[in-house]
Amino acid sequence: MSTLLFIAVACYAFGAAHAIFALWQAPNPRWFRLALWLMIAGFGMHTASVIARGWEVARCPLISYQEVCSFLGWAIAGYFLVAYAWYRSQAFAAFAMPMVFLFALAAWLLPAPNDTAAILKFYGQTASLLTVHAVLFILAYAAFAILFVAAALYIVQERQLKRKQFGPLWSRLPSLDICDDVSAKALVVGFALLTLGILTGILGSRRLNGVYWQGDPLEFLSLATWLIYLCVIHYRLTAGWRGRRAAWLGIVGFAIVLASLIGIGWLNGFHVIG
C-alpha cells in the first residue's frame, strides 16, 4: 500500500502545484489539463491503495489515524472530481488539491497499525455497524471540506466586490452563484451523511455498551457540527440566508470538523484511535 500511496501523493503534489500555477500565472489551459490528469491519476492510485489496505487487513481501512487521513483525502479528491465535472471551475482545483495532498501526505508519513485483531474482537458483532458509522462520518467531513473551499472562494470574491478592488484572479474565479450552489449541494450531502453517521453511532453504542451516549468529547464536537450545519440549512430555507452569512457558518462548521479530526488522535474518550 505504501508504494501506491506514495505515487498518489506525488501525483497530488505535482497536480496541486500545476493547478496553483495555472490559476496565478498561466492562462494557458494546457497547464490546468496537466493538473487535472495528475489529479485523476493520483485518485486512481489512491483508490488502489485504499483497496489494497482493506484487502491486506481484511476490513474497512478506518481503524487507525493513518487510515482515516488516507480515506478522507481520497474522499475529498472524489468529491472534487465530481464537482469539476459538474461546474468546470479551475479555481476549485487550486484550493481543493492542496488539501487532498496534505491529507494523503499525512497518511503516507503516519505509521500504519500492526495488528487490529484485538480491536475488531472487542467490537464483536457491532464492528460492521461501527464501520458504517465511521465511513459515513468521513464522507460527511469530505463534503464539508468542499463546502469550505466554496465558502472561502465566495468570501474572497464578495469582499473584492464590496471594495471594488478586483485582483488579478478575479476573472479566473467561479461566480458567486456557482460558489453558493456548490456550498448548498455539499451542505445537503454532508448533513445527510453526518445525520446517518450519528444515528448509526448511537445504535452501535447501544449494542456495544448498552448506552446511547458515551459522553466523550468527540460526541459533543459531532453534535456541535451537526447543530451548526442544521442552522445553515434552517436559515437558508426560512430566512433566505445565502452568500456571506451562510459561507461564514460553513467555515465555522469546518473548523469544528478539523477539531474532531485532531481529537480522534489526541482527546481521551471512547472514539480515540491510534
Single-letter amino acid, residue 105: L
Q: What would the pLDDT profile of 8-51 be if each residue is shown by its tens digit?
A: 999 999 998 888 887 776 566 777 888 889 999 999 999 999 99
Using CB atoms within 10 A of its CB, is residue 254 exposed (0-12), middle (13-18) or buried (19+)? buried
Hey, how many other C-beta atoms are within 10 angstroms of the C-beta on 175? 13
More confident position, 166 or 211: 211
Start-to-end Cα distance in the chain? 19
Mean pLDDT of 82-98: 84
Mean of the per-residue pLDDT values of the chain: 81
User: What integer is the mean pLDDT of 54-70?
Assistant: 82
Q: Kindly tell me if the per-residue pLDDT of 84 is higher than 70.
A: yes
Give CA–CA dist 166/161, Å, rounded: 7
Hey, where are the domains in the chain? 1-114, 123-274
Where does the chain have alpha helices with state H? Answer: 2-24, 29-57, 65-87, 90-109, 117-123, 127-163, 176-209, 217-238, 244-266
Per-residue pLDDT of 215-263, as tens digits, reads 677 778 888 889 989 988 888 777 666 667 788 888 888 888 888 887 6
Please choose, from the candidates 99, 61, 102, 53, the residue with its C-alpha nearest in 3D space to the C-alpha of residue 79: 99
**Residue 113 DSSP label:** P
Q: Residue 204's closest CA among 114, 129, 132, 257?
A: 129
If one counts every other C-beta atom within 10 angstroms of the C-beta of residue 98, the result is 17
Rounded CA separation 131/125 (Å)? 11
